[in-house]
Amino acid sequence: MTETFHSLVKRLLDGELSLSDLPPELRGEGAEALRLLGAVDRAPVALSAEFETRVMAEVRRRARSPIRRVWRGLVEPRDIELRLRVRPWVVWGAALAAAAAVALLLTRPPQASEGARPMRVAAGDSVYVRFVLYAPTARRVAVAGTFNQWDQTASPLARVGAGGVWAITLALPQGHHQYAFVVDGAQWVPDPAAPGVDDGFGRRNSMVAVTARGARIL
């Protein structure tokens, strides 16, 4: 018999939810599923004494084998206790070096990727945000917004390959920024991936929220 339970009931069976977490209309189904599972799990399994004796004899025989003992010694994990005796300045030096390495990794800009979404790529007061627009017939593309005083010459996008994708990575301060793409110096285009807000002039601006944890289009 195959019965399909609601996905929340399946999560109840996985132990991710309790019966009280389910909406009232699913609690009956949940209780029934738990009852069925409980009946299966709790069925007693009886083993004969002779079976247990045979199993343990085989285990002892294998444990005595010198070849298996050598193999286990080579491949099985084991606990190793390592005692180090170091001076405090060595510990502090290592910690500082690790912190510097982490900071270096976090502030490196990422590799290029396609898509029309700003993304978080660095940490600090400013966050690297990548702007991407697919405009195969464009001769030039720029991004203008509150972060560059709506200056369409300040942040020109560069062509990425020959597929009509344009991109630029900018370091933006934390906060909320409105922006739009400017195609060929005349056409203002909102980010196709962002819903945007009314710009007050009959069109839409896109919006990006830049936080310490990254950037997200709004």
Question: Which DSSP state fits 184?
Answer: T
Tokens for 158?
Answer: 């560069």
Q: Distance (Å, rounded) from C-alpha 82 to C-alpha 90?
A: 17
Q: Does residue 217 bind other proteins (CB under 8 A)?
A: yes
Which residue, 45 or 186, is less far from other proteins as judged by CB? 186
Q: Does residue 8 bind other proteins (CB under 8 A)?
A: yes
The stretch near other proteins (CB under 8 A) out of 83-91, 123-131, 162-170, 192-200 is 192-200
* Region 162-191 residues binding other proteins, contact defined as CB under 8 A: 175-176, 178, 188
Q: How many residues bind other proteins (CB under 8 A)?
A: 43
Q: Distance (Å, rounded) from C-alpha 166 to C-alpha 161?
A: 9
Q: What is the largest CA-CA distance in the chain?
A: 89
Binding string, 122-161, against other proteins, x = CB under 8 A?
----------------------x-x--xxxx---------
Measured from the Cβ of residue 86, the count of other Cβ atoms closer than 10 Å reads 9
Q: Does residue 113 bind other proteins (CB under 8 A)?
A: no
Q: Distance (Å, rounded) from C-alpha 113 to C-alpha 119?
A: 10
Q: Distance (Å, rounded) from C-alpha 51 to C-alpha 81?
A: 40
The residues that touch other proteins, with contacts defined as CB under 8 A, are: 3, 5-8, 10, 13-14, 16-17, 21-23, 33, 36-37, 144, 146, 149-152, 175-176, 178, 188, 195-201, 204-205, 207, 209, 211, 213-214, 216-218
